[in-house]
A and B are shown apart, each in its own frame.
Chain A
Amino acid sequence: MKKNKHLLPMLMAGAMALSAGFASPALQAAEPVKIGMITTLSGGGASLGIDIRDGFMLGLKMKDGKLGGVETQVIEVDDARKVENAKQIATRMIKQDDVDIVTGIVWSNLAMAVVPSVTRAGKFYISPNAGPSALAGKKCHENYFNVAWQNDNLHEAAGQYVTDKGLKNVYLMAPNYPAGKDAIAGFKRFYKGNVAGEVYTKLGQVDYAAELANLRAAKPDAVYFFLPGGMGINFVKQYSQAGLSADTPLFGPAFSFDEGILKAVGDAAIGVYNTSQWNKDIDNAANTSFVEAFKEAYGRNPSLYASQGYDAALLIDSAITSVGGDLSDDDKFRDALRKAEFDSVRGNFKFGSNQHPIQDIYVRVVHKDGDTVTNKIVSKVFTAHQDAYATECKL
């Protein structure tokens, strides 16, 4: 350590002498808003990140590249779904690029690692997807806003819907990791019947034959599963091949029945119920124009993730407009965000005390519309639903 202590001041002095010659960057008159977008664009799960990014950029494009009338610069970096990368990118955005707002993260574990360092540095974080319980409860922060959902929300809705339908013996399945356990806990919070079986599978599991055989032997009334990404595709395909879909209805959160995933699963998903806060057939002006514009810009149907990215852009737009393009006062900007004065594509939207959404949650069914397999809304499960952790948050 001795070496270090001598060196440091020496080098510092040298550096200062050298850098004295370089003028500090001149202050610009109208400073653009800088938004850092950290999301997953490569490797596994890239489609989610790409959807969020595309949704967000569409929102920006529809405001002519100016959120709240201010020139907006989006710095977009791929985190390759690695915590370390995400953390490093966040540090750079804070220290070097001096962004005003960070957004984009897809995964809860990445969010858990990155969000605290963003908020601690006095920047704002707008979550377009992940909503881990800690950040909604005990570790909530005044600069952290979630524009998607708290992780449990869709599972809670499923629990309620299954109970409403009078199903009394449900089999539960999720991967063996925290989000999986939260999902099952969220489901059980509103489900009143008997649990026919509760199975935790390997993360990233590919083949579910063994679980399906056990499931059949347990003879449940219905099955609720949470298997995000490729795991869900595997499961639904194999569930249908095992001939289970005829007698035992399948329920899941929207994640496994997104437009992209339905394209990959095909007819095997028909008849599956899934819970979501959004669907492309929700009838309001904001949603209609979003769906149209998205299809035109990218040539595909928007997904849940895209809608969340889009809403994140709109939320920021509304807040910047409200403070008249001046982001210098954090308190004012925060209050503006809290008001959430934007037309969400999902209709009713406001923030709870923990700055997570209070919103309606629907149940959708997968059906065939002409040649495409897609979702339609069946009914509304919750109106103005708030998450269970808001009371733990001291804001």
Chain B
Amino acid sequence: MKSWSLYKNHRLFAGTVFLGFLGLSSLIALQPATRVQADNAPLPTAVALTPDQQAGMRVFIGEGCVACHTQQVRNIDMDKTWGGRPGMPADYAWRQRLDVWRATPSVLGSERTGPDLTEVGVRQPSDLWHLLHLYQPRSVVKESIMPAFPWLFRDSTAGTPAGLALHVPAAYREPGNHTIVPTRRAQQLVAYLMSLKQAELPTGQALPFLNVSPPKEAVATGAPAPGGEPVLDGATLYATNCQACHQASGEGLKGAFPPLKGSPVVNNADATLMVNIILQGYNPRPEYGVMPPFAAKLTDAEIAAIMTHERSSWGNKAAPVTADFVKKVRALLKPGPATASAL
């Protein structure tokens, strides 16, 4: 005589919990996943990863970088730091199984012990910087706690192609006559990192961020200037945007990033060249890393605040720069991509 009580009929019980869980799982995981996957294609403006960048992504996964780095710009204004618009499914449409053995790379991440990497290719377009940073993060960011990856580099004594050798500051290398050269894997990883940027939306219209944060009081010093605009804190903006290369001391890194301290460009009474470099980027000197353009990232007022900070710190003694001046120089440039001040 079969009982119909769940607690007396073990077959009925096992069937119920199995089907119940499978049913709910299908509702909440299998179906949404299938639907999301079906309704997904990369943006037409997105650039597919090259084989080298693909290989770099494998290094990225194998070294467990996702444990500390997200690639996820959430639709809340505090995430504006990490990208120009909130992430959308199409940004991740390229993701699929790495190979038979390995699954889809889980790059969205769940922990931000290090910075988000969605746009690291824009924020930091200098491969020299990335290589130095991978070899020894503290050689470029003193306070960093990121692991060093010396096994992605080799010690080469002879036959090194010029230009590949890293200029590691003496404090971060073993004494002796070492030439540190990135391996192919390091170059691939850097190629992957530099490929990371948000594709532009075809309509050119940005998705909205939810406005949820309290008013930013850390960047503004609080007291509004007579004009009503808050006074921007150039030191903080410098730390956010410039310090990774030019360093807190303003001295840069020998053989990698030029000093601002005592620099004739920074101290020049006519700041036009300096504004131009910041707006358009700079790469004519092979011994130094590439400087990214900031025209789309910073407003005129922010650039003016940073410049004023740079021109009055570390012994530099040049006159402050106004937002109006930056605006004038910007207007002289060819009409390029949309500027931040226009957004």
Asked if A pairs with B, the answer is: no
Report which A residues bind B (CB closer than 8 A). Answer: none
